[in-house]
Amino acid sequence: MAAHPAAQALMRLVTRLFNVEAREAPPVAAGLSMFFLLFTAYFMLRPVRETMGIAGGVQNLQWLFTGTFLATLAALPLFGWLASRVERRLLLPWAYVFFVFNLVLFALAFLQRPDDPWIARGFYIWLSVFNLLAISLAWSALADVLAPSQAKRLFGLIAGGASFGGLAGPILGALLVAPLGHAGLVLVSAVLLLLSAVAASWLYRWRDRHPQPAAPVAGEWRQPLGGNPFAGATQMLRSPYLLGIALFVILLASVSTFLYFEQARLVEAHFADRTRQTQVFGLIDTVVQGLAILTQLFITGRVAQKLGVGVLLVAVPLVVAAGFLWLALAPVFAVFVVVMVVRRAGEYAFVRPGREMLYTVLPAEQKYKAKNFIDTVIYRGGDAVSGWVKRGLDLLESLPSLAMLIGAGIALGWAATGMGLSVARQRRETLTKQE
Q: Is residue 374 part of a domain?
A: yes
Q: Is residue 149 part of a domain?
A: yes
pLDDT at 378 over 90: no
**Per-residue pLDDT averaged across 293-307, rounded?**
75
Of the pLDDT bands very low, low, confident and very high (cuts 50, 70, 90), residue 159 is confident
Triad 187, 62, 193: Cα angle to 5°: 20
Q: Which pLDDT tens digit goes with each residue over 101-110? A: 999 999 898 8
| φ, ψ of residue 113 in degrees (nearest 5) | -140, 75
Sign of CA dihedral 159, 161, 164, 169: negative
Task: Give me the pLDDT at residue 136, please.
Answer: 82
Sign of CA dihedral 48, 107, 65, 394: positive
Q: Is residue 7 part of a domain?
A: no
Number of compact structural domains in the chain: 1
Beta-bridge partners for 224: 87
pLDDT at 368 over 80: no
CB atoms within 10 A of CB 5: 8
Q: Is residue 161 part of a domain?
A: yes
Task: Give me the pLDDT at residue 216, please.
Answer: 47
Task: Give me the pLDDT at residue 416, please.
Answer: 96
Q: Which pLDDT tens digit goes with each residue over 229-267? A: 567 788 898 899 999 999 999 999 888 888 877 777 777
Task: Give me the pLDDT at residue 2, please.
Answer: 47
Task: Give me the pLDDT at residue 1, please.
Answer: 42
Q: Is residue 135 part of a domain?
A: yes
Q: Is residue 69 part of a domain?
A: yes
Q: How many CA atoms lie within 13 A of 49 on its CB side?
A: 21
Q: Which pLDDT tens digit goes with each residue over 36-55? A: 999 999 988 887 676 666 65
Look at 101 and 116; give whichever has higher pLDDT: 101
3-state secondary structure string across 297-327: HHHHHHHHHHHCHHHHHHHHHHHHHHHHHHH
**Per-residue pLDDT averaged across 26-30, rounded?**
82
Look at 226 and 356; give whichever has higher pLDDT: 356
3-state secondary structure string across the chain: CCCCHHHHHHHHHHHHHHCCCHHHHHHHHHHHHHHHHHHHHHHHHHHHHHHHHHHCCHHHHHHHHHHHHHHHHHHHHHHHHHHHHCEHHHHHHHHHHHHHHHHHHHHHHHHHCCCCHHHHHHHHHHHHHHHHHHHHHHHHHHHHHCCHHHHHHHHHHHHHHHHHHHHHHHHHHHHHHHHHHHHHHHHHHHHHHHHHHHHHHHHHHHHHHCCCCCCCCHHHHCCECCCCCCHHHHHHHHCHHHHHHHHHHHHHHHHHHHHHHHHHHHHHHHCCCHHHHHHHHHHHHHHHHHHHHHHHHHHHHHHHHHHCHHHHHHHHHHHHHHHHHHHHHCCCHHHHHHHHHHHHHHHHHHHHHHHHHHHHHCCHHHHHHHHHHHHHHHHHHHHHHHHHHHHHHHCCCCCCCHHHHHHHHHHHHHHHHHHHHHHHHHHHHHHHHHC
Look at 26 and 319; give whichever has higher pLDDT: 319
Report the alpha-carbon distance of residue 352 to residue 313 in Å, rounded. 8
For residue 423, give the CATH number of its domain. Answer: 1.20.1250.20
Q: Is residue 278 part of a domain?
A: yes
Of the pLDDT bands very low, low, confident and very high (cuts 50, 70, 90), residue 218 is very low
Of the pLDDT bands very low, low, confident and very high (cuts 50, 70, 90), residue 319 is very high
Look at 224 and 204; give whichever has higher pLDDT: 204
**Per-residue pLDDT averaged across 148-152, rounded?**
72
Q: Among 56-70, 88-102, 243-257, whose mean pLDDT is lowest?
A: 56-70
- Mean pLDDT in the chain? 79
pLDDT at 381 over 60: yes
Winning range, highest mean pLDDT, from 146-150, 170-174, 187-191: 187-191
Global pTM value: 0.70
Domain, as residue range, for 114 = 23-434
pLDDT at 214 over 60: no
